[in-house]
Amino acid sequence: MASILKSLKLLAEPSRVRIVLLLEKEELSVAELQEILGMGQSTISTYLAQLKQAALVEDRRTGKNILYSLKPGAPRELLAVLRHAEVPDDSEALKLVLAQRQDKMRTYFDELAGKFGRQYVPGRSWQGLAETLLMLMPPLVIADLGAGEGTVSQLLARRARQVIAVDNSEKMVEYGANLALGNAVENLEYRLGDLESLPIADGEVDVALFSQSLHHAQHPATALAEAHRILKPGGRVLVLDLLKHHFEEARAMYADLHLGFTKVDLQRLLKDAGFSNVSLAVVHRETEAPHFETVLAVGDKPPGLSD
pLDDT value, residue 271: 95
Highest mean pLDDT among 1-15, 63-77, 115-129, 290-304: 290-304
- Of 188, 191, 189, 223, the closest CA to residue 209 belongs to 223
Confidence category of residue 119, pLDDT binned at 50, 70, 90: low
Q: Give yes or no for residue 306 having a pLDDT over 70.
A: no
Q: Please say whether the beta carbons of 269 and 261 come within 8 A.
A: yes
Same domain, 82 and 111: no
Q: What is the mean pLDDT of residues 64-85?
A: 82
Same domain, 57 and 153: no
Same domain, 156 and 203: yes
Lowest-confidence region among 62-66, 101-105, 204-208: 101-105
Same domain, 206 and 74: no
Same domain, 117 and 82: no
Alpha-helical (H) ranges within the chain are 2-10, 14-25, 30-37, 41-53, 76-82, 91-101, 104-114, 126-134, 151-156, 170-182, 220-230, 250-253, 263-272
Q: Give yes or no for residue 1 having a pLDDT over 50.
A: no
Q: What is the mean pLDDT of residues 55-83?
A: 84
The domain containing residue 222 runs over which residues?
Answer: 105-300
pLDDT value, residue 126: 73
In percent, how much of the chain has pLDDT > 90?
Answer: 57
Same domain, 79 and 188: no
pLDDT tens readout for residues 230-270: 999 999 999 999 999 999 999 999 989 999 999 999 999 99
Number of helices (H), then strands (E), belonging to the chain: the values are: 13, 10
Question: Domain of 36: which CATH number?
Answer: 1.10.10.10
- Residues near 111 by Cβ (< 8 Å), separated by ≥ 6? none
Same domain, 149 and 83: no
For 203, how many CA atoms within 13 A lie in the half-sphere containing its CB?
9
Would you say residue 218 lies in a domain? yes
Would you say residue 100 lies in a domain? no
Q: What is the mean pLDDT of the chain?
A: 87
Choose one of 43, 60, 89: the last residue of a domain.
Answer: 89
Would you say residue 183 lies in a domain? yes
pLDDT tens readout for residues 7-63: 556 677 888 889 999 999 999 999 999 989 988 899 999 999 988 988 889 999 877
Q: Give yes or no for residue 172 having a pLDDT over 80.
A: yes
Give the total number of structural domains in the chain.
2
Q: What is the mean pLDDT of residues 265-288?
A: 93
